[in-house]
Amino acid sequence: MPYDPLEDLAEVLIPADRILHRVIELGAEISRDYDGKDLVLAGVLRGASFFLTDLARAISLPIAVDFISISSYGPATKASGVVSIRKDLDESVGGRDLLLVEDIVDTGLTLSYLLQILRARQPASLQVCALLDRKVRRIIDLPIAYRGFEIPERFVVGYGLDYNQRYRNLPCIGVLKPELMIG
With CB under 5 to 8 Å by kind, the binding choice for 156 among ligand IMP, Mg ion, none is ligand IMP
Asked whether 34 and 61 are in contact (CB, 8 A), the reply is yes
Q: Does 107 bind ligand IMP (CB under 6 A)?
A: yes
Q: Which residues contact 103 (CB under 8 A, 6 or more apart)?
A: 44, 47, 48, 50, 51, 130, 131, 132, 159, 160, 161
Rounded distance between C-alpha atoms, residue 19 and residue 114, angstroms? 25
Which residue number, 39 or 48, has a Cβ lying nearer to ligand IMP?
48
Stretch that binds ligand IMP, among 9-17, 26-34, 53-61, 153-161 (CB under 6 A): 153-161
Rounded distance between C-alpha atoms, residue 61 and residue 117, angstroms? 26
Which residue number, 35 or 88, has a Cβ lying nearer to ligand IMP?
88
Q: Does 106 bind ligand IMP (CB under 6 A)?
A: yes
101, 156, 170, 173: which one binds ligand IMP (CB under 6 A): 156
Would you give the binding string for Mg ion spanning residues 136-175, x where CB under 5 A is met? Answer: ----------------------------------------
Which residue number, 47 or 148, has a Cβ lying nearer to Mg ion?
47
Q: Does 47 bind Mg ion (CB under 5 A)?
A: yes
Q: Does 103 bind ligand IMP (CB under 6 A)?
A: yes
Q: Does 158 bind ligand IMP (CB under 6 A)?
A: no
Site for ligand IMP in 122-151 (CB under 6 A): none
Taking CA 139 as the corner, what is the angle to CA 135 and CA 140, rounded to the nearest 5 degrees? Answer: 95
Length in residues, the chain: 183
Asked whether 153 and 137 are in contact (CB, 8 A), the reply is yes
Helix/strand/coil percentages in the chain, nearest 5: 30, 35, 40
Active site residue 106: yes
Nearest to 144 by CA among 135, 153, 136: 135
Interface residues toward Mg ion, by CB under 5 A: 47
Active site residues: 106
